[in-house]
């Protein structure tokens, strides 16, 4: 009966698919809510202490539990109702923000509070990402996946537009309590939307016979046979080291320390990133790539060049423009890669494969955060860090022009 119901759902157009629409609605609240929280937490940390090492640590303590628990999150996504995982992820984040609001109102918030909350957010992310990524292919047909992923990315990328703009404005008008209150409400609404998604775990009896350790072993064995996954992961593993830390830490530090800007200046750059990412998602929702691998490599070369140029920015508006271009290129890289992995993976393995991809490809991200923070702490100019990192990203992309497996892939 459930199988029949599922077939009836996936045959309809995307926007007639009730479950997929609910997923979009949830993302429309969840992602902006997270970015409202993020800009508030970033600016609060910058305001509490002048030591920029602690600012980098804010990203590091979120990345470590996310990295360690992603595999666990993938196993759970393959064994448990994905809707339940998404609900508790958003609901728990709302509760954490509620705690932060109480600390701010009571004027007791300290550096360690922000670090602990950041780590708990990282734990939530570890379960949210594989559940969301593996849920989408169960709602849509294969030939709908690029469009479906693009629409989800659109809702996600409204976040860097609405989130920072709203967050920066609220900080200026209502202070930190106001900005975090809005984030709390948005994440709570997202968790409510998820409740109405009606998806049951398939083959429950078969899944329950396996232990988590057996599931993990099966996942690794499956990944070893997927040449595309291996080639993509190796490339992403090194790229993230030179990109994640410098861009995440670099933007706020440049705005405050180099341009002597405010939260509004940071919001301007992050909003530009959101606009570019949204434009890229819209482009891929209407344009099906015939050779996604080639598009990924060419866009990656362009990303490295623009990233290096971003480090040499002379004003907030110049940096915002370059960041917007980077965001477009990032979408042309990420959406095809996710779609390729979804199409080449058995549905029963999707949670584990997506979590393994994220775990390995982001394995050096915490090291990137610490390395970037340490270089800034000893006096290395953040703009030069970004410029050199962009050059290295370009060289890695050029090297991957030899990657025949990626270049030759065709979407269904």
Q: Which residue has the higher pLDDT, 107 or 161?
A: 107
* 204, pLDDT greater than 60: no
* 259, pLDDT greater than 70: yes
204 in any annotated domain:
no
32 in any annotated domain:
yes
- How confident is the model over 34-85, as pLDDT tens digits? 878 887 888 888 888 777 777 778 877 887 887 778 777 777 777 777 788 8
Least confident of 17-21, 113-117, 311-315: 17-21
pLDDT for residue 389: 92
pLDDT for residue 308: 92
pTM of the entire predicted model: 0.62
- Please state, for a pLDDT cut of 70, what percent of the chain lies above it: 78
412 in any annotated domain:
no
203 in any annotated domain:
no
SS (H, E, C) the chain: CHHHHHHHHHCCCHHHCHHHHHHHHHHHHHHHHHHHHHHHHHHHHHHHCCCHHHHHHHHHHHHHHHHHHHHHHHHHHHHCCHHHHHHHHHHHHHHHHHHHHHHHHCCCCCHHHHHHHHHHHHHHHHHHHHHHHHHHHHHCCHHHHHHHHHHHHHHHHHHHHHHHHHHHHHHHHHHHHHHHHHHHHHHHHHHHHHHCCCCCCCCHHHHHCCCHHHHHHHHHHHHHHCHHHHHHHHHHHHHHHHHHHHHHHHHHHHHHHHCCCCHHHHHHHHHHHHHHHHHHHHHHHHCCCCCHHHHHHHHHHHHHHHHHHHCCCCCHHHHHHHHHHHHHHHHHHHHHHHHHHHHCCCHHHHHHHHHHHHHHHCCCHHHHHHHHHHHHHCCCCHHHHHHHHHHHHHHHHHHHHHCHHHHCCCCC
* Sequence-distant (≥ 6) Cβ neighbours of residue 327 within 8 angstroms: 157, 160, 272, 273, 274, 275, 276, 277, 279, 280
Query: What residue numbers bound the domain in which 43 lies?
Result: 2-197+211-407
Separation between Cα atoms, residue 360 and residue 29, nearest integer Å: 29
Domain count, the chain: 1
- How confident is the model over 215-258, as pLDDT tens digits? 667 767 776 777 777 777 777 777 878 888 888 888 888 887 88
| CATH code for the domain in which residue 241 is found | 1.20.1250.20
Least confident of 300-304, 335-339, 399-403: 335-339
206 in any annotated domain:
no
- Could you give the C-alpha distances from 140 to 15, 82, 151, 219, 286, in angstroms and in order? 11, 15, 12, 23, 17
- How confident is the model over 357-410, as pLDDT tens digits? 666 666 667 778 788 888 888 888 888 999 999 999 999 889 888 877 777 766
Separation between Cα atoms, residue 236 and residue 230, nearest integer Å: 10
Annotate 232-261 with b (16+ C-beta within 10 A) or e (fewer): bbebbebbbbbbbbbbbbbbbbbbbebbeb
205 in any annotated domain:
no
């Amino acid at each position: 009966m459930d199988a029949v119901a599922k077939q009836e759902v996936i045959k309809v157009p995307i926007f007639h698919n009730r479950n997929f629409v609910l997923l979009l609605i949830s993302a429309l609240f969840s992602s902006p809510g997270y970015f409202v929280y993020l800009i508030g937490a970033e600016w609060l940390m910058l305001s509490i202490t002048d030591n920029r090492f602690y600012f980098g640590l804010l990203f590091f303590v979120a990345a470590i539990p996310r990295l360690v628990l992603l595999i666990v999150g993938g196993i759970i996504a393959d064994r448990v109702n994905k809707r339940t995982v998404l609900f508790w992820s958003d609901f728990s984040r709302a509760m954490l923000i509620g705690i932060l609001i109480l600390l701010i109102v009571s004027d007791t918030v300290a550096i360690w509070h922000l670090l602990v909350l950041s780590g708990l957010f990282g734990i939530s992310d570890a379960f949210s990402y594989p559940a969301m990524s593996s849920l989408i292919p169960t709602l849509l047909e294969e030939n709908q996946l690029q469009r479906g992923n693009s629409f989800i990315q659109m809702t996600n990328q409204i976040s860097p537009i609405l989130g920072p703009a709203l967050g920066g404005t609220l900080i200026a008008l209502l202070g930190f309590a106001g900005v975090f209150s809005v984030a709390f409400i948005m994440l709570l609404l997202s968790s409510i939307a998820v409740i109405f998604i009606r998806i049951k775990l398939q083959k429950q009896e078969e899944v329950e016979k396996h232990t988590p350790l057996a599931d993990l072993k099966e996942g690794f064995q499956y990944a070893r046979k997927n040449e595309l996954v291996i080639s993509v992961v190796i490339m992403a593993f090194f790229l993230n080291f030179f990109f994640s830390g410098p861009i995440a830490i670099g933007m706020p530090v440049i705005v405050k320390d180099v341009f002597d800007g405010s939260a509004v200046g940071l919001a301007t750059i992050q909003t530009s990133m959101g606009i570019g990412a949204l434009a890229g998602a819209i482009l891929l929702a209407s344009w099906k790539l015939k050779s996604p691998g080639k598009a990924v490599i060419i866009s990656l070369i362009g990303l490295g060049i623009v990233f290096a140029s971003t480090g040499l920015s002379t004003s907030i508006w110049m940096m915002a423009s370059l960041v917007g271009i980077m965001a477009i290129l990032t979408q042309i890289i990420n959406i095809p890669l996710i779609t390729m992995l979804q199409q080449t993976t058995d549905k029963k393995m999707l949670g584990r494969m997506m979590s393994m991809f994220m775990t390995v490809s982001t394995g050096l991200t915490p090291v990137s955060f610490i390395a970037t923070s340490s270089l800034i702490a000893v006096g290395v100019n953040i703009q030069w860090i970004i410029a050199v990192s962009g050059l290295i990203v370009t060289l890695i992309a050029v090297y991957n022009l030899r990657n025949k497996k990626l270049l030759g892939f065709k979407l269904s």
